[in-house]
């Protein structure tokens, strides 16, 4: 059914979780699954380090530059805003977007530094709301055992504990927790099943909406 405004649009599917929870591994597996089933889909990630704003963010994350906490927060948000119109046109043309981190990362990481949650949410208002947030749930201690922290700015256990608490405060009806301590293939299968329900619902005609509820 192709007629009508929101019919046959793609789904906006976001993966969230602590550093090392497996988002990038699972995003690419989910993309392959959807493509294999014949869906039009793309893999996006935030921060998008390819833009000029993204390069400022990347320098900050690798400790090559210092920025005020509010300044970096607004840069992360701007990095999503510079992609908003392309995101909307892709979704409306029927492409499903699998997005590795989004506004939930933005608010969780900045509020974990002590910034006010409502202040952190404000610049995200008006960005597209995900149809589905897949939260890869892992204890911070378990995540720290994977692949070795120490590279980037936020990869410290104590800070990740705070981020986990901040994520929990952001749960909304689009949110689904998946146990991220399982074998990779088990997580992959669960994510695929949940995502397929949402891709189908968007094909039938759930309208796009904006953050922040």
The residues of the shown chain that bind Na ion, judged by CB under 5 A, are 24
Work out whether 29 is an interface residue with ligand T5A (CB under 6 A). no
C-beta of 7 vs 42, nearer to Na ion: 42
Of residues 96, 92, 132, 101, the one with CA closest to residue 23:
101
Q: In Å, how far are 3, 6, 38, 69, 79 from 101, measured between CA atoms?
A: 32, 25, 24, 19, 12
Number of residues that bind ligand T5A (CB under 6 A): 22
CB of 94 within 8 A of CB of 8?
yes
Q: How far is the CB of 78 from ligand T5A (least distance, A)?
A: 10
- The option from Na ion, ligand T5A, none interacting with 106 (CB < 5 to 8 A, set by class) reads ligand T5A
Mask 33-72, x = binds ligand T5A (CB under 6 A)? -------------xx-------------x-----------
Among 12, 13, 14, 19, binds ligand T5A (CB under 6 A): 19
Q: How far is the CB of 61 from ligand T5A (least distance, A)?
A: 5
**Element housing 132 (H / E):** strand 132-137
Name every residue whose Cβ is closer than 8 Å to that of residue 25 and which is 6 or more positions away in sequence: 184
Of residues 203, 194, 21, the one with CA closest to residue 104:
21
Where do contacts with ligand T5A occur on this chain (CB under 6 A)? 17, 19-25, 46-47, 61, 76, 101, 105-106, 109, 146-147, 152, 154, 184, 187
């Amino acid at each position: 059914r192709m007629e009508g405004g929101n019919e046959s649009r793609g789904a906006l599917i976001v993966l969230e979780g602590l550093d090392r929870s497996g988002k990038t591994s699972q995003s690419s597996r989910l993309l392959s699954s959807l493509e294999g089933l014949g869906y039009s889909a793309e893999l996006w990630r935030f921060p998008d380090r390819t833009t000029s704003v993204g390069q400022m963010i990347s320098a900050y994350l690798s400790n090559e530059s210092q920025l005020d906490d509010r300044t970096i927060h607004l840069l992360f948000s701007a990095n999503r805003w510079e992609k908003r119109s392309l995101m909307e046109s892709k979704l409306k043309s029927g492409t499903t977007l699998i997005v590795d981190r989004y506004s939930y990362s933005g608010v969780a990481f900045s509020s974990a530094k002590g910034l006010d949650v409502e202040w952190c949410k404000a610049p995200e208002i008006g960005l597209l709301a995900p149809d589905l947030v897949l939260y890869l749930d892992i204890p911070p201690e378990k995540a720290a055992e994977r692949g070795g922290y120490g590279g980037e700015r936020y990869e410290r256990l104590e800070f990740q504990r705070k981020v986990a608490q901040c994520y929990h405060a952001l749960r909304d009806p689009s949110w689904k927790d998946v146990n991220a301590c399982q074998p990779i293939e088990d997580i992959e299968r669960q994510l695929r099943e949940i995502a397929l329900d949402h891709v189908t619902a968007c094909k039938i005609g759930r309208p796009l909406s904006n953050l922040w509820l």
